[in-house]
Chains A and B, each alone.
Chain A
Amino acid sequence: MTTALADIAEFRLLLEEELGLRVRADDLDRPLDDFPAWDSVLLLRLVTVVEDVVGRRVAVADVLQARTFRQMYEVVAGP
C-alpha cells in the first residue's frame, strides 16, 4: 500500500498499483484524451484511494476538470 503522496513519482506509482494504469514521467503533461484507458470511473476510484492515502478530502469537481495527469496531481496533492 502506498503510504503517502510525497511527489509526482508516488502519484505515478499509485496510478499503476491502484488503477493498473502505467503513466511514464514524460506522459504527465499529455492531454488525458491521449489515454484511451482513462475514464471517469477510474477517476472516481482515484479520488477514493487518494483520500485514503492523504487522509483529507479532495476537490472532486476540480479533479474532474484536470486536463493532464500533472494537473490532477496538483489538485490531489493539495497546496
Chain B
Amino acid sequence: MTATTNHSTRDPAAGWHDPEALSALRALHRAGRLPAEYGSVRSLLSRMPAADLPAAGQLLARLDPKEVCRHAEVPVVTVTVTGHSTVAPLVAPLTAELARHGLLLEAKVSPYGAYLQDLMRPAAAGEEQPQLTLCLLDAHTVFDDVTVPWRAEDVEAAARAGLALLTGAVRTHQEAGRGLLVLNTVPLHRRHTHQLVDLRSRARLGAVWREFNSGLLSLAAQYPGVVTVDLDPLVAEGVVACEPRAAQYARARLSDALLAAYAREAAHVVRARLGRTRKCLVLDLDGTLWGGVLGEAGPGGIELGAGLRGEAFQEFQRTVRQLGAQGVLLAVSSKNDAELAGTTLRTHPGMVLREDDFVRVNANWKAKHDNLRDIADRLGLGLDSFVFVDDSTFECGLVGEQLPEVAVVRVDEEPALHPAALLADGWFDLFELTEADLERAGRYRTEARRQEFREDVGSYEDYLDGLGLEVDLRPPDESEIARVSQLTLRTNQFHLATERLQAAQVSAQMERPGHHVLAVRARDRFGDHGLVGALFLRRDGEVLRIDNFVLSCRVFARGIESACVAAVLRFARDTGASAVTGRCLPSPRNAAFASFYADHGFAPVGTDPDDPEAVFFRHELTGIAPAPAHLRLHAAFGPFDGDPT
C-alpha cells in the first residue's frame, strides 16, 4: 500500500494540503483496496485540497457501504436525498465530506422531483427512518409554475403557493416524527432577474424572492427538527450557483460547485446530529494571533493592533472571541517563553483576546501534539473535540499526523484570510445554544487554574491554604430555589438522607415555621463555584435536626462540609438548643459518607421509627470542633436567628 506509506514518511514541513492525496486515493481504488483501507481515507481527505474532494467523492461513492463495514468499524449515516430536481449529483460530494469526518454515507436517492411525495407520504410499517433527509430546493421550485409572459406579481403568486405547499409538507413530515429535515434557501439567478427589463419590476422580483427564502428560513424557527441551510453566503463566496447545460439537459439545477459547498454544510449538520460538535479551539500565537516572532521582536515589535497587518490580526482575534463567547473553549499552544507569552496576552494594548479568554495557555518548547494532549487531559475532553489553528505547515502536519482525530486549520501568511480559513468548516455548529454552553468556558477556566495551582504547591494542606476559599451559608433567594431542587434531584454521593425535592417542595419547606433551608455557596481565588449545596434544618423543641445535607461533588474534600456542620452546631448553641441531630439514610451511592456525622463528633443514637433504615446521630454541643482554618464561612441562618439579614 504505497499511498499510506508515502504519507507517514512524508516530511510534514513539505506543505499542509497534500496535492498527492488524490493520487494516493486513486492508487487504492486501482488496487481494489479502498474498502479494506477505508480507515486511511479520513486522513488522506483531511489533507486533500478542497478542489480534489469531488473527484475523491466519485470514487468513494462507488463503494458498497456493506463491503466497507465488513473491513472497518465506520459509523454509517443513512440519508435520504430528495428535492425538486435531479439530486443524485449530491451523493459524491456528500460522500467525501462525510468521509472527512470518518463517517460512511448510505444514501437513498429519490427520483426526479419527488420531494413533496417524500415529505408527505406516511412511513411504511417497519420502515427504518433515515437519520437525515436532505430536501434540495432550486429556482425551479418557484419558476416551474410561472409561464411566459410573466411579471413580478406572477412570481410572487407562484412563490407564495410554493411556500404554502412546502410548509404543509414539512409540517406533515415533522408531525409524523420522520426525523431531521434539511432544507435550503434558493439562489436567485441573473437569467431570471434580467428577463424583466424595467428596473422597478426587477427590484420587486428581488423582494418577492427574499420573502420566499425568508419563509424557508422561518420553517427552521418553527420546527426543531428542521434546518435550513442558507445558500446565499456560499454563493457570496463566489461559488457558481447553476451550470446552465446541466440544468437544461439533465435537470441538475444546482451546480456541482454549489452542491460541494452545500455538502460541507450538511456534513456538519450530521456531526451536530451525532453529538460530535467540536468544543475546543487551540490557537498558535506567532503568525496566528499576531504577526512576527514574539521571542525575537518582543511585545513592542509584534504586528498587533497598529498598522494594516496589525489590524488584520485584531480582526481575527475578534472572530475567535465571538466563537469563545458562544461556548467554544479557547486555548493556546505556542512555542514561546511562558512568561513572555503570558505578559503579552495580559498587557499588550492591541490584544482583543485576553489571557482570561483562554481556558489554558500552553507556551513552552514541547511538541504541539504533546501540548494538545495535555490540554485535553486537563479539560477532560477527547481530542476529537479539538480544532487546532497554526500558520506553520510543519506544526499543522505534525499534529495532523500524530493526532488524526484533531481537526487542523492551517492559516497562511496573509492575516486578512485567517477568519475565512477558520470558518471554512462549521466545526462548532450545533442546533441550539444553552446556558450551559455559555457558562462552559468560565467553569473550565477556573478548574484548569485550580488544578495548575494544586500541581504547583507542595502538599494538599498548602493547596487548601492557598485557595482562599470562602463559603456562604444562608437561605436561598427566590431565584436560587430551582438550583437547590436540582441539587437534591441530581446529587447521589454526598446526599446524607437522600430526598428528592421539586422546587415547590423546597419553597414549602422554607415557609414552614421552625424550618430552615440553607444554601451553600462557595468561591475561591480562582472563581465562583456558585450554589453547591443545601442543608435542611428543623427545630424540634430543644433539638435542632439536620434532616438532610446535600453537597455537589465538584467541591468535595475542601473542608466545606465540615465548616457547614461547625456553623450549624454554633448556631444551635447560640440559639439555646441542647443538641443537634443528623439523619443519615444509606443509599447505594452515599456509602462513602456513612460515617460523616460520626467523624464530626456526633454519636449514633438509633434508627428513625418512621424509617428503620435511617440512622440518627446526636451532638450534645459540648466541645464543638472549630471550622477548618483554611476557609472563611459567612453564616446567616435567616429571620429566626436574630441575624439582620
State the A residues within 8 Å of B (CB).
Answer: 1, 16-21, 37, 39-45, 47-49, 60-61, 64
Nearest CB on A from B401, distance (A): 24
Interface string of B58-95 (1 = CB under 8 A from A): 11011000000000000000000000001011011000
Given known A16-B30, A18-B58, A20-B29, contact A39–B88 (CB-CB < 8 A): yes
* A70-B423 Cα distance, complex, nearest whole Å: 45
User: Does B55 count as interface, using CB distance less than 8 angstroms?
Assistant: yes
Tell me whether B58 and A64 are in contact (CB under 8 A).
Answer: no
Tell me whether A60 and B245 are in contact (CB under 8 A).
Answer: yes
Tell me whether A19 and B256 are in contact (CB under 8 A).
Answer: no
Given known A19-B58, A20-B58, contact A40–B256 (CB-CB < 8 A): no
Tell me whether B256 and A41 are in contact (CB under 8 A).
Answer: no
User: Does B249 count as interface, using CB distance less than 8 angstroms?
Assistant: yes
Tell me whether B58 and A44 are in contact (CB under 8 A).
Answer: no
Nearest CB on B from A47, distance (A): 8
B22: chain A residues at CB < 8 Å are: 1
B245: chain A residues at CB < 8 Å are: 47, 60-61
Between A and B, 6 residue pairs with Cβ closer than 8 Å are A1-B22, A1-B23, A17-B26, A20-B58, A37-B62, A41-B86
User: Does B504 count as interface, using CB distance less than 8 angstroms?
Assistant: no
B23: chain A residues at CB < 8 Å are: 1
User: Does B338 count as interface, using CB distance less than 8 angstroms?
Assistant: no
Tell me whether B249 and A41 are in contact (CB under 8 A).
Answer: no
* A41-B246 Cα distance, complex, nearest whole Å: 9
Nearest to B32 among chain A residues (CB) is: A22
Nearest CB on A from B255, distance (A): 9
Nearest CB on B from A60, distance (A): 4
Tell me whether B59 and A41 are in contact (CB under 8 A).
Answer: no
10 closest A-B pairs by beta carbon, nearest first, are: A20-B62, A60-B245, A20-B59, A41-B88, A44-B246, A41-B89, A17-B26, A40-B250, A60-B249, A19-B58
A18: chain B residues at CB < 8 Å are: 55, 58
Interface string of B283-312 (1 = CB under 8 A from A): 000000000000000000000000000000
Tell me whether B29 and A44 are in contact (CB under 8 A).
Answer: no
Nearest CB on B from A39, distance (A): 7
A37: chain B residues at CB < 8 Å are: 62
User: Does B331 count as interface, using CB distance less than 8 angstroms?
Assistant: no
State the B residues within 8 Å of A (CB).
Answer: 22-23, 26, 29-30, 54-55, 58-59, 61-62, 86, 88-89, 91-92, 245-246, 249-250, 252, 256
Tell me whether A61 and B249 are in contact (CB under 8 A).
Answer: yes
4 new A-B contacts, CB < 8 A, other than A18-B55, A44-B89, are A40-B86, A41-B89, A41-B91, A48-B256
B59: chain A residues at CB < 8 Å are: 20
Tell me whether A44 and B92 are in contact (CB under 8 A).
Answer: no
Nearest to B52 among chain A residues (CB) is: A1
Nearest to A39 among chain B residues (CB) is: B88
Nearest to A63 among chain B residues (CB) is: B249
* A37-B62 Cα distance, complex, nearest whole Å: 9
A49: chain B residues at CB < 8 Å are: 55
B88: chain A residues at CB < 8 Å are: 39, 41
A44: chain B residues at CB < 8 Å are: 89, 246, 250, 252, 256
Nearest CB on B from A53, distance (A): 12
Tell me whether B89 and A45 are in contact (CB under 8 A).
Answer: yes
Nearest to B255 among chain A residues (CB) is: A48
Nearest CB on A from B99, distance (A): 14
Nearest CB on B from A70, distance (A): 21
Tell me whether A45 and B249 are in contact (CB under 8 A).
Answer: no
Nearest to A37 among chain B residues (CB) is: B62
* A45-B86 Cα distance, complex, nearest whole Å: 13
Nearest CB on B from A51, distance (A): 10
Nearest to A49 among chain B residues (CB) is: B55
B256: chain A residues at CB < 8 Å are: 44-45, 48
* A60-B246 Cα distance, complex, nearest whole Å: 8
A64: chain B residues at CB < 8 Å are: 249-250
A60: chain B residues at CB < 8 Å are: 245-246, 249
B58: chain A residues at CB < 8 Å are: 18-20, 42, 45
B252: chain A residues at CB < 8 Å are: 41, 44
B55: chain A residues at CB < 8 Å are: 17-18, 49
Nearest CB on A from B293, distance (A): 37
Nearest to A61 among chain B residues (CB) is: B249
* A64-B249 Cα distance, complex, nearest whole Å: 8
Nearest CB on B from A68, distance (A): 19
Nearest to A41 among chain B residues (CB) is: B88
Nearest CB on B from A31, distance (A): 20
Nearest to B244 among chain A residues (CB) is: A60
A1: chain B residues at CB < 8 Å are: 22-23
Nearest CB on A from B1, distance (A): 18
